[in-house]
């Protein structure tokens, strides 16, 4: 996701970063050295997950949903699972939503204001291919419908802002595609 939206911090080595975790997801038993509750998403936290700090009793929710390693036990082989909570995490996780917004900004900057150009670039960046005719048509229809729904729901939302939020919704949907998640 960080690579596609153009925000990956390529810094190698050095100290680990602590990713922001929602306070309700922190259930640490070690209260003498609790996980910080006020961490902010920043370029410093946009490094590869190999550099992510892991507190044994506080596993990052998104990593946990996608079979992140358990820091409390060693394991010779990890089992890969595909379960419904993974889809829910992709639809509700703050990190995923923020990266979708970053990708939407990149599409607007690089493809301009035309929805079709934005959709084509989004597919090329995320999936390394052009969308089929039906994928292109349904993607454009989705963005237009979402923009209208957002405008109807929030009367104060400007048209260009509704368009951006709808494009963000589209980018989040791309991140949830099996084709994006799994390498064939």
Q: Are residues 86 and 65 in contact, defined by beta-carbon separation less than 8 angstroms?
A: yes
**pLDDT for 78 beyond 60:** yes
Cα distance between residue 180 and residue 184, in whole Å: 10
Residue 46, pLDDT score: 65
DSSP 52: B
* Whether pLDDT at 24 is above 70: no
Burial category of 108 from C-beta neighbours within 10 Å (exposed 0-12, middle 13-18, buried 19 and up): middle
Tens of pLDDT, residues 81-134: 776 777 777 787 788 888 899 999 999 999 998 999 999 999 999 998 999 999
SS3 179: helix
Weakest mean pLDDT among 10-14, 53-57, 150-154, 169-173: 53-57
Whole-prediction pTM value?
Answer: 0.69
Region for 75 from its dihedrals, namely left if φ exceeds 0, alpha if ψ lies in -120 to 50, beta otherwise: beta
């Amino acid at each position: 996701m960080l690579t596609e939206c153009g925000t990956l911090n390529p810094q190698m080595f050095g100290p680990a970063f602590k990713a922001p975790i929602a306070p309700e997801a922190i259930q640490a038993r070690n209260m003498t050295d609790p996980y910080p509750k006020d961490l902010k998403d920043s370029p410093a936290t946009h490094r590869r997950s190999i550099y992510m700090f892991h507190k044994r009793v506080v596993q990052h929710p998104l990593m946990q949903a996608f079979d992140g390693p358990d820091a409390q036990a060693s394991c010779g082989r990890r089992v890969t699972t595909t379960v419904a909570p993974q889809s829910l995490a992709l639809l509700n996780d703050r990190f995923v939503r923020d990266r979708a917004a970053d990708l939407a900004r990149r599409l607007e900057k690089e493809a301009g204001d035309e929805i079709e150009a934005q959709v084509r670039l989004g597919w090329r960046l995320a999936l390394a291919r052009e969308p089929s005719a039906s994928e292109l048509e349904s993607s454009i229809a989705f963005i237009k419908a979402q923009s209208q729904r957002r405008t109807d729901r929030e009367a104060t939302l400007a048209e260009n802002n509704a368009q951006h939020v709808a494009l963000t919704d589209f980018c989040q949907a791309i991140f949830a595609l099996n084709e994006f998640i799994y390498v064939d």
